[in-house]
Chains A and B, each alone.
Chain A
Amino acid sequence: MPSPQPSSDPFEIPRPAQVPAIELIGVRKVFRRRERAHGRFSPRRRVAALDGVSFRVERGETVAVLGQNGSGKSTLVRVLSTLLLPDGGTARVFGHDVLTQPAVVRRLVNRVSVEASFFKKMSAAENLSYAARFHGLTSGRTRAGIPEILERVGFPADRRSEPMENLSRGMQQKVALARALLTAPVLLLLDEPTTGLDPRSKREVQAFVKEMRAMHDATILLCTHDLDEAEALADRIGVLDRGRLLVLGTVDELNRRYGAQTLEVAFFAATGREFGEETDPDDDREVFA
């Protein structure tokens, strides 16, 4: 494994090669929520969004987590980005515990989620600019860097100063990718980055993720419910179902394990359910996407 860090840098965050990029040991996250159908005074129900999830992702790997709506993918991403505190277990990013060293973890991680989250009246350039500042980048570095990175993700130069609300979903998602890349995360968390995109934007975003993979030292965790996307982009694929990681391996390993010819069949064998069947009856896609 190449050492991407100039070893002369005395301040670097230690990320020894033998330490996995992601290490989860029995991570649990339980939410208490009211059932909508039963009105506002109904008793709260406990939902185990993550139910003892353990796995490792090596540095430089791209791992896809496949799961239906409500299987716990976003919860997993939020735990790794220090936005949700796990109720039990341990989660580490390059050896740094998300609970006890969140500040270090935040410097290593960035994320693209299903909804492009931006100040809608502000332009792409403005949104990227302030976000870069939050990661310690001066305007001297972003002045040239932002146009460059927007160009790399295929964002048209003449629309940089247009309010984000005028841009298509696909275009916004490219800006979201640019925002994540701008901070050069060593762990990139992609949470359904292509869900809801038109086929062309979807292909473009996927092509870009592929290019990212080729980059030195970038580790990618891709959460998706798109089987083809997982197969096309990931080295290994895990199946998450109702908060439990049922299996994690290469496509071949998965197929062999379940005696399946295709990933779809393997998924069915692992979860006991047809792909595309809803597991989460709650009408909360918008809220918890």
Chain B
Amino acid sequence: MPLLELQHSLIAALFQRDQLAEAAKFVKAQGSLSSEQRVGIYRNSAHGILLDYLESLYPVCLELVGTEFFGRTAHSFIDQMPPTRPFLADYGADFAAYLSAHPALQEMLWIVEVAKLEWARHAAWHTVNQVASDFTQLETLSAEQQAELRFQLPASAQLLSAHSPIHSIWLAHQDEYPDKPQFDEIDLEEAQQVLIFREQRRLHQTTLSPDDWAFLNAVQNQATMADLAEQFADQLPWLFSVAMQENWIYSFTTTPDETKPTRNS
């Protein structure tokens, strides 16, 4: 079917510069613009839409690397990994991985970690809020049921472990925080563990202590109450109460986790 051929050729030109001449064969030359220039308008327009979108997803990275570098890298990313789904919000997850392979960033991989943080924020906005459990019901459970309890972080929760102070770098680039750290004063070698989650229409982003980090990871890996007691011993009540107070734990289940292989299987 000729329409199929035409569309394949056109879309190839949008994402591969060397296909412009091929696509131009389907197009009339009019006025002062050649047919290739006319296809080029669409290539620029499609790239422009995706570049604007990537800039809106990665505003701190954009400030860190500058408009020109970001634009060049984004354009080559778009050509190498064009969108494959009609949902724009799904596009751009691979951008951090793409940056991590960039020769110019090998000594500045903290920028890649900031990109991962920015994607995690985007993903948290786009995740559904599950229904919160009624934690007063915990008291009604038998000792056996209590041992089998599993907890859930908010569905939107993203636990990030970075070799660099991603939270501080991110904060330093937010205009609306009056007490933000000065970028020049940040020690780029400092590792940070960060939790991002959404509560209704608010996004929370916070650094975690190593203990809180280990605890929330265990919870996210569906450890039972008995597992947690074994792993965290007498620290558990404290870790648990902080997590509850901060709304890091959102719901619980008493049924066995079907997704986790049993020890004997």
Do A and B pair up? The answer is: no
Q: Which residues of B contact A (CB under 8 A)?
A: none
Q: Which residues of A contact B (CB under 8 A)?
A: none
